[in-house]
Amino acid sequence: MTLPISAVGSVGAAGSTGVGNTSSNSIASLSSNEFLQLLVTELTNQNPLSPMNPTAMVQQTSSLSMVQLLDSVSNELQALQSQEGVLSASSLIGQTVSYTTASGKQGSGVVSGVAMTSGGLNLNVNGLAIPSSQVTAVGKVIGGSSS
């Protein structure tokens, strides 16, 4: 028995939306967790007297394996990107950078370290953690202010 995507309501922990009626109803728009929930729901509600076609079962099992593999590859790629960011930013240690904070305050100083936090890559400038996205220039500051 197969369930159309539009027939599956909210599934999962409180606060998660699950798969519902969407305008696209595309299987490509499913997250890996939504796909797994859909597959488990389908297997749970299968009629034991009329089991799923073995070919369909093999296809879904291979799809499940592919989703798990792609999720794993995605996580590894994110970890590599974070490491690359830290390594690239480490070349800024000892360099003078200018920055503008979210509140509009401008400053400059010498980078003494870099750190990856949950918020992203931060540079340690004059004892302050400056997000790398706020850096406006790298190099000698002429006539700039220092914070």
CATH of region 91-138: 2.30.30.30
Digit-coded pLDDT (tens) for 46-90: 776 776 677 777 777 787 788 888 888 988 998 888 788 778 888
3-class SS of residue 111: strand
For residue 4, the model assigns a pLDDT of 46
Tokens describing residue 122: 């931060």
Q: pLDDT-derived band of residue 26, with 50, 70 and 90 as boundaries? A: low
* Cα→Cα distances 58→22, 53, 55, Å: 28, 9, 5
For residue 142, the model assigns a pLDDT of 56
Torsion angle in degrees (nearest 10) through CA of 87, 93, 98, 101: 60
Q: pLDDT-derived band of residue 27, with 50, 70 and 90 as boundaries? A: low
Tokens describing residue 13: 């922990």
d(CA 146, CA 97): 10
Q: Are 2 and 42 in contact (CB under 8 A)?
A: yes
Q: pLDDT-derived band of residue 15, with 50, 70 and 90 as boundaries? A: very low
Q: Which of 19-23, 25-29, 112-116 has the lowest mean pLDDT?
A: 19-23
User: Closest Cα to residue 32, out of 57, 3, 12?
Assistant: 12
Indicate the pairing of strand 120-125 with strand 96-100: unpaired
The helix, strand and coil proportions of the chain, stated in percent and rounded to the nearest 5, come to 40, 20, 40
44/51: higher pLDDT: 44
Segments making up each domain of the chain, as ranges: 5-87, 91-138
d(CA 59, CA 42): 14
| Whether the predicted pLDDT of 9 surpasses 50 | no
Q: What is the pTM of this model?
A: 0.45
- Average pLDDT of the residues of the chain: 74
Q: Are 98 and 136 in contact (CB under 8 A)?
A: yes
